[in-house]
Structure 1
């Protein structure tokens, strides 16, 4: 279970970038919250870091007006990989507010930046991340009872009278002797998506959504059957817009 808050600041102004990083780091220390802040002076460097280091952020403070790639374009790319990260735009005006709906922006901070508004955004994200991390299930596998955080589970797969609980990291599969329907009834979660009679996926790890499949972060392809197609689509977009 991740307990550390991972935050990115993508801002081409050296002064603004340093200021917001200082505000964030000061707040985290004052609240005794473990956290790491990564700073980038361009959208290109930020995207490169995500692709090369496979970083997963809880929150991104994104300047809208930057060099070759603007913040809105960068946010659209982020949303292809991560549906849950909180994106807060930094801007000198509110003219881009409506575009932000496309990427489900969590907020806008108008420059010059003030500590009060930045910390309010931080506190909201912390509350949401901690709330998600508390969601766990208890399973018995191999005679051993374990408590597993929901956000550690990649997907569930039904194999006759047993369910394989596939964990995101490390690469581990827990075998639980029950049916998939019984498992999800006993362990309900708002993050479960049921695209197929034999699979349940964790919304947190959906990287791509096509009409007939989900591609998860590790590259696993999960089929979407015709029977579950409409319900899956409704559940997916409900989670996307109400996370």
Structure 2
């Protein structure tokens, strides 16, 4: 679920934004929780970092959107702010508060959808869990969803991912402890596999991205239970 705040003093535009969000929901199946505020001071007062995206009108009676965004940024560096305005000169000032984009009034759905999709993509990217590994002399951040499996090679771990292969000097036990909660399972002493990419099980192996990875006899039963549980949760 994506949590939205609409800060807009004009009912016409607030209702239009909610209609556009609902239309987007019907087209994509995305789930939203929406809270509407009528002025900048309403959202700032007692603000808690619970929103993913804020649609912020610029011109409002008591506290304008730019001032409200400045106050919000002091408390929340992660929320995505998108300004609603009929004055494009405010767009430049939006960068001062790290606004993602701005929507110009009158609002049309095609433009709204493109900008909204970009905001949602950014939200989902932030939500994806990551791990940090040392690859050669560099520290790298890998999204767990991008990892197919990890292979142990002596004192090194080989991370086989969508974006390439990376080698890190680390223990398999530590990797297993870090990744078990994200749907990874140890198929034998050498492989830690991402269950979401298991295409099938055949001849004592699980198949991931066209590669056969051995399942040890001792772990076969627990591996199948883990697979069943994983699939049922999805």
What is the TM-score of this pair, normalised by structure 1? 0.52
Q: 1:11 aligns with which of 2, 5, 8?
A: 8
- Which residue pairs with 1:23 in the alignment? 20
Q: Which of 115, 119, 135 is the matching residue for 1:121?
A: 115
* Runs of 4+ that moved beyond 4 A: none
- 1:131 aligns with one of 125, 130, 133: 125
Give the secondary structure class of the aligned counterpart of 2:110.
helix
- Shift of residue 35, structure 1, vs aligned partner: 1.2
Structure 1 contact 64–90 (Cα < 8 Å) conserved: yes
Computed over aligned residues only, the root mean square deviation of the Cα atoms, in angstroms, reads: 2.7
Higher relative contact order (CA 8 A, sep 6+): 1
Alignment CA distance shift 1:60-1:74 (3 Å) = same
- What SS is found at the alignment partner of 1:17? helix
1:165-180 matches, within 5 Å, as: none
The residue that corresponds to 1:102 in the other structure is: 96
Q: For structure 1, which runs of at least 5 residues remain unmatched after alignment?
A: 138-148, 151-182, 188-243
- Distance, in Å, in 1 between the alignment partners of 2:130 and 2:98 is 27
> 1:118 deviation in Å?
1.6
Quote the residue 1:58 is aligned against. 52
In structure 2, the gaps of 5 or more residues are: 132-142, 145-173, 179-234
Aligned to 1:195: none
Distance in 2 between residues matched to 1:41 and 1:14, nearest whole Å = 9
Deviation at 1:136, TM superposition (A): 4.4
